[in-house]
């Protein structure tokens, strides 16, 4: 069972950052899987604070993003290349050559997925993958119906995702309809999954992902197949969990020797 922890968004960010920075201290060649979207923004800020305050060497840390729009310019402020550059690479002080996002270039569509998988493998795999979840249950850009064994490939976004992401663009018509995303199989190969969700709009997806049937109709439910999942959600995102009281009880009684 995933470990499910209820915290405010700020507390969750601090807890996630502490875990990640301690892991980097223990392994300077740590490979961090990063997500875009609003959910992990505070986590990156907290990691940056700790790295600075504790003078942590991040020169060998590698990062891999989950996904990218297809056909967007890398210079576009909403390309995930730029979003990761601003929030992760520059803020935390990672070396740009150690930070990877899938290629948005239409010319490389046929090979970009396999190339990205090869890069992740060559880095030794992702040590910890940060995950948000969409209202429709997507993780990365794996929309409902995605194979639970999928690798990095091109997908078509749902109307709901286009609507959710329209806030970052001038209009919904400017949101690219295609993306390249790590597959669910790729995500499941990471050694530790850290799923974060905040707000009432995520409550249904979180309950389905953590307590519902494992199904490609709710791609986030694939985390139940992974042996090491930590879900940190705020009270609103956790409000539809049936066994909420038990998760709280488990956490209150967490042994001091048991890291997340
Ligand atoms: P959000 O998106 O973090 O902006 O809510 C999550 C997702 O779509 O995976």
Task: Report pTM.
Answer: 0.96
Kindly report the protein residue whose alpha carbon is nearest to atom 1 of ligand 1.
Answer: 37
Q: What is the pLDDT of residues 102-115, one digit of tens each?
A: 999 999 999 999 99
Catalytic residue status for 228: no
Q: Residue 201 CA: which ligand 1 atom is closest?
A: 5
The domains of the chain are located at: 3-252
Per-residue pLDDT tens for 214-255?
999 999 999 999 999 999 999 999 999 999 999 999 999 999
152-170 average pLDDT score: 95
The CATH fold of domain 3-252: Rossmann fold (3.40.50)
Task: Give 159's contacts (C-beta < 8 A, 6+ positions apart).
Answer: none
Note the pLDDT of residue 75. Answer: 96
What are the tens digits of pLDDT across the range 175-222? 999 999 999 999 999 999 999 999 999 999 999 999 999 999 999 999
Query: Which of 12, 164, 236, 237 has most ligand 1 atoms within 8 Å of its beta carbon, as the pocket-test mutant?
Result: 164
Q: What number is the average pLDDT over the span 127-136?
A: 96
- Ligand 1 atom nearest the C-alpha of 39 is 3
Q: Is pLDDT above 80 for 1?
A: no
pLDDT, tens digit, for every residue of 15-67? 999 999 999 999 999 999 999 999 999 999 999 999 999 999 999 999 999 99
Structure tokens at 74: 């890398």
CB of residue 132 inside a 6 A radius of ligand 1: yes
Q: How confident is the model at residue 258 (pLDDT cuts 50, 70, 90)?
A: confident
pLDDT for 80 beyond 80? yes
For residue 259, is pLDDT > 90? Answer: no
Q: What is the pLDDT of residue 210?
A: 98
Identified catalytic residue from 68, 117, 127, 143: 143
Is 234 marked active-site?
A: no
Q: What is the pLDDT of residue 119?
A: 98
């Amino acid at each position: 069972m995933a470990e499910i922890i209820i915290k405010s968004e700020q507390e969750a960010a601090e807890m996630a950052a502490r875990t990640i920075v301690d892991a980097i201290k223990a392994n300077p060649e740590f490979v961090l899987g990063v997500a875009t979207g609003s959910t992990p923004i505070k986590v990156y800020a907290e990691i940056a604070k700790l790295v600075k305050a504790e003078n942590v060497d991040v020169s060998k840390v590698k990062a891999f993003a989950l996904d990218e729009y297809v056909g967007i310019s890398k210079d576009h402020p909403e390309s995930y290349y730029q979003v990761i550059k601003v929030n992760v690479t520059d803020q935390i002080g990672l070396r740009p050559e150690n930070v990877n996002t899938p290629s948005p270039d239409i010319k490389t569509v046929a090979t970009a997925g396999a190339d990205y998988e090869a890069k992740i493998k060559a880095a030794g795999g992702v040590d910890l993958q940060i995950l948000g979840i969409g209202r429709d249950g997507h993780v990365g850009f794996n929309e409902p119906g995605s194979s639970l064994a999928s690798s990095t490939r091109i997908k078509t976004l749902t109307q709901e995702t286009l609507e959710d992401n329209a806030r970052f663009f001038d209009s919904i018509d400017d949101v690219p309809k295609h993306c390249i995303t790590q597959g669910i199989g790729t995500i499941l190969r990471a050694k530790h999954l850290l799923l974060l969700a905040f707000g009432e709009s995520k409550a249904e997806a979180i309950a389905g992902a953590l307590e519902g049937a494992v199904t490609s109709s709710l791609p986030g439910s694939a985390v139940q197949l992974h042996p090491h999942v930590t879900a940190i959600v705020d009270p609103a995102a956790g409000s539809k969990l049936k066994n909420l009281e038990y998760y709280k009880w488990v956490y209150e009684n967490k042994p001091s020797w048991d890291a997340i």
